[in-house]
Each structure stands twice: as structure tokens, then as C-alpha cells.
Amino acid sequence: MKASVVGSGYVGTTIAAALADLGHEVTAVDIDPDVVAAIEAGESPIEEPGVDELVARHSGHRLSATTDYDDIADTAVTILAVQTPAREDGAIDPSYVETAAESLGAVVGEDHVVAIKSTVIPDVLEERIDPLLGEATLAANPEFQREGSALEDFRNPHKIVIGSADEVAYERLETLYAGLIESADPAVVRTGLREAMMIKYANNAFLASKISLINDIGNVCKAYDVDTYEVADAIGLDPRIGSAFLRSGVGWGGSCFPKDTSALIHAAREQEYEPEMLAAAHAVNDRQPERLLSLLDEHVDVEGKRIAVLGLAFKPGTDDTRNTRAIPVIEGLRKRGASVVAYDPVATLAEEFPDLDHAASAAEALDGAHGAAVVTDWDEFAALDEEFDRMADPVVVDGRRVVERRDGITYEGLTW
């Protein structure tokens, strides 16, 4: 099938490359000529395991890229995967989706399905996006891909959700994904447009709230000297709870959970409904970084002291720092007058904190430090050992349960 993918971020590029690998003839569209040139040269514009190899293999054959929407006029289906940033008030900014929809609507005809992967509120989809698409058929086709395993998640979906008001959209997307449906046997959920978008919001709201709930429980556990991880392991055995996403600690960040939960809270309030649970999930998440620092306060007066922050990425395996918990941790330390030295194997926060001291290794960050706060669960932090001997005051507060407790250091786990 001839397919097009608008937006070449981590979701769009992964999908474009994976669809080409499934045998489709795929054209990627992006407004950034550098991104287009990279794909045309066989290079992935994003870092995702396995994607660079697929782009190299299919570029020039079944995968091409363009800035020109005219080039995709004859494709049968377009996957729209552009960003939906959050506004100051928590609502989403759908302007990128609208601009892309307008450009698409100008070139595609009646026999064309546009599947929206970008996450928008149902009203926005129906009232603002649909009218821009001209005669094309609208579908909502949310993604559940994690950064760092976007390709694996695409290839092994637990479900494929297709929302539309039109049979032709279900059939076309099921044909597009036929290879996946055959190999991975996911549930295929045919539903309405509005329901499909809410499935995506609800999915992320549940996962974010699950982490916040175990963090809430973890804070109580800590006060009673109970190991939350043992509690989580046991409750996770109940299939109604499940063992995934029960790692308690300094909270969730990234490009999806904060944005999608804020958008849902905002959308609820627009309808004069106060979403107490979602608001609480946010409140707990906002509180965890400060709780980590309070633990440090119990052992060191950080004012004027060198304090190491280990981990800047919002999770391991990525250099993405969007909404990373490292930001409030560093802000809190600076507010206390500490001199912060940060280390991450790949990420930096040079843009957010231009004067932040970035060390070249964990050992260098710990050298002479009077305390260390662990924010990201990179594997290499689990292997730290004699590096702690370099600290002036070996106090370690761990927000991710990654550092091994050992003799000679004062160790505090955030929720254990």
C-alpha cells in the first residue's frame, strides 16, 4: 500500500520505517528540510533502537521523504504524527496538527484516510481537525509507544485502536497493519473517533496514576520503615493490579504523561468537572523531588556545599530531559544554596541551566561532594562502588532504587 507519515519525530520516523519494513511504499513528510535530507540519505533523524538500521535499509527503495505535501497526494492513507505541545495552562496546543491537516486537506481526495496519532481532545479532533481535511476520511489511531522501545512497541502492540465513523477507515488501517496483526496478534479495537482519543488519554492517565499511587503508598511505607518494593512485588502478583509500573521513587516525566494528564485535567475543568484523582496524581508527582531533598536535608546542610545529581534524562535509555524530575531537584538544591554538579551518561540540562556544572563521569561528579541525589535509574549507577569513597560526605539519597546499599555510605531510599 502507498502510505504517508506526516511528522518525523520519534513516533513518526519509527512508524514510517516500520511500515516500509512491512512492505509498504512509504513517504515521510516533515517541514524541516534537514530531517528530510537525513531520511533521504538513509539516516534516522531520531535516536531509537533499531530505527537507524531500518531507515538505512529502506531509504531510496520503499522509504522516501519530502517537505512537499503534493508528493503524498496519491497515497491511500496518511498517519499524522506531529507534536501537540502543552500550553502554560495545561491545555494542548493543536496548531501543528491543524497546520498539517490543512496542508493535507489541500492535496488529498475522497479516497484517502487520515489517521491521527497525535493526541488531541475529542472536540478538537471533530471540530477543528476534521473540517480541514476536505473530502478525506478521518480516523483516530493512537499510539502506545515508549521512547527507547518505540520500534519494539510498534511491532508488538497489545492493541491497535482505530476510531472512526466510517467502515472504510477500519478496513484501510487493518490492511496497513495486516503484517503486525498476523505476527503479533494484538487486539484490534474498532471504536468511535471520540472514544479512540479518550482511550489514549485514559491509558496514560492510568499508568501515571498507578505510579503516583505507589509513590503515595511508598511515602507512607517510608514513614513506617516498610520496604515499598517488597510491598509492590507482592501486590503486583494480583492480576487485577499487575506488576508493571510499580517502581516507586522520584516520579514520572517525559513528553507524554505530564502533558496528557494536564490536558485531561484541563479538559475536565472546561466541562466544570473537577478530576480529583488525576489532580492528586499530579500533586504527588510534583511533591516527590522535594521529598528526596528533605531526606538529604536530614543528613547534610547543603548550603554552600557541592552536591552531585546523578541522572538528568527523564528515564534511562534516552537523552530526553522533557519534564525530567532532575529539573525540580536541581532547582530545589540551588534554592538551598548548594553548588550542583550533574552527571548523566547522555543527557544534559545546559539549556535549562546554562551555568550547570556537567561532570564527565559519576566519579567526577561525586568527587568532593557532600551528598548525591540519584534521579535516573541508569544501569551504570548500580555498579557504583568505590566512586563513593571520593565523596567528602558519603550521603546518597536514591530516587530510583538503583544504587546498592553498602558499608561506608549513608544511604536513604526515597520510599524504602
- Beta strands at 357-358 and 63-66: parallel, antiparallel or unpaired: unpaired
Q: Specify the residue, 96 or 144, whose C-beta has the smaller distance to ligand UDX.
A: 144
Q: Specify the residue, 282 or 315, whose C-beta has the smaller distance to ligand UDX.
A: 315
Q: Specify the residue, 207 or 369, whose C-beta has the smaller distance to ligand UDX.
A: 207
- Interface residue with ligand UDX among 249, 289, 345, 413 (CB under 6 A) is 249
- Interface residue with ligand UDX among 21, 30, 130, 143 (CB under 6 A) is 143
CB of 242 to ligand UDX, least distance (A): 11
By CB under 6 A, is residue 343 in contact with ligand UDX?
no
- Interface residue with ligand UDX among 314, 343, 353, 381 (CB under 6 A) is 314
By CB under 6 A, is residue 328 in contact with ligand UDX?
no
- Interface residue with ligand UDX among 246, 330, 342, 349 (CB under 6 A) is 246
By CB under 6 A, is residue 253 in contact with ligand UDX?
yes
Q: Specify the residue, 21 or 143, whose C-beta has the smaller distance to ligand UDX.
A: 143
Site for ligand UDX in 92-111 (CB under 6 A): none
- Beta strands at 159-164 and 137-140: parallel, antiparallel or unpaired: antiparallel
- Work out the number of other CB atoms within 10 angstroms of the CB of residue 150: 23
- The closest alpha carbon to 89, from 262, 328, 268, 283, belongs to 262
Site for ligand UDX in 10-49 (CB under 6 A): none
Q: Which residue is nearest to ligand UDX (CB)?
A: 256
By CB under 6 A, is residue 147 in contact with ligand UDX?
yes
- Interface residue with ligand UDX among 100, 256, 295, 403 (CB under 6 A) is 256
Window of 29-37, 65-73, 109-117, 140-148 that interacts with ligand UDX by CB under 6 A: 140-148
By CB under 6 A, is residue 245 in contact with ligand UDX?
yes
CB of 265 to ligand UDX, least distance (A): 17
CB of 197 to ligand UDX, least distance (A): 13
Q: Specify the residue, 193 or 213, whose C-beta has the smaller distance to ligand UDX.
A: 213
By CB under 6 A, is residue 353 in contact with ligand UDX?
no
- Interface residue with ligand UDX among 315, 336, 370, 401 (CB under 6 A) is 315
By CB under 6 A, is residue 247 in contact with ligand UDX?
yes
By CB under 6 A, is residue 146 in contact with ligand UDX?
yes
Question: What are the φ and ψ backbone dihedral angles of 221, each rounded to 5 degrees?
Answer: -55, -45
Site for ligand UDX in 157-216 (CB under 6 A): 204, 207, 211
Window of 66-74, 179-187, 255-263, 291-299 that interacts with ligand UDX by CB under 6 A: 255-263
CB of 49 to ligand UDX, least distance (A): 13
SS3 readout for the chain: CEEEEECCCHHHHHHHHHHHHCCCEEEEECCCHHHHHHHHCCCCCCCCCCHHHHHHHHECCCEEEECCHHHHCCCCEEEECCCCCECCCCCECCHHHHHHHHHHHHHCCCCCEEEECCCCCHHHHHHHHHHHHCCCEEEECCCCCCCCCHHHHHHCCCEEEEEECCHHHHHHHHHHCHHHHHHHCCEEEEECHHHHHHHHHHHHHHHHHHHHHHHHHHHHHHHCCCCHHHHHHHHCCCCCCCCCCCCCCCCCCCCCHHHHHHHHHHHHHHCCCCCHHHHHHHHHHHHHHHHHHHHHHCCCCCCCCEEEEECCCCCCCCCCCCCCCHHHHHHHHHHCCCEEEEECCCCCCCCCCCCCEECCCHHHHHCCCCEEEECCCCHHHHCCCHHHHHCCCCEEEECCCCCCCCCCCEEEECCC
Interface ranges with ligand UDX (CB under 6 A): 143-147, 204, 207, 211, 245-247, 249, 252-257, 314-315
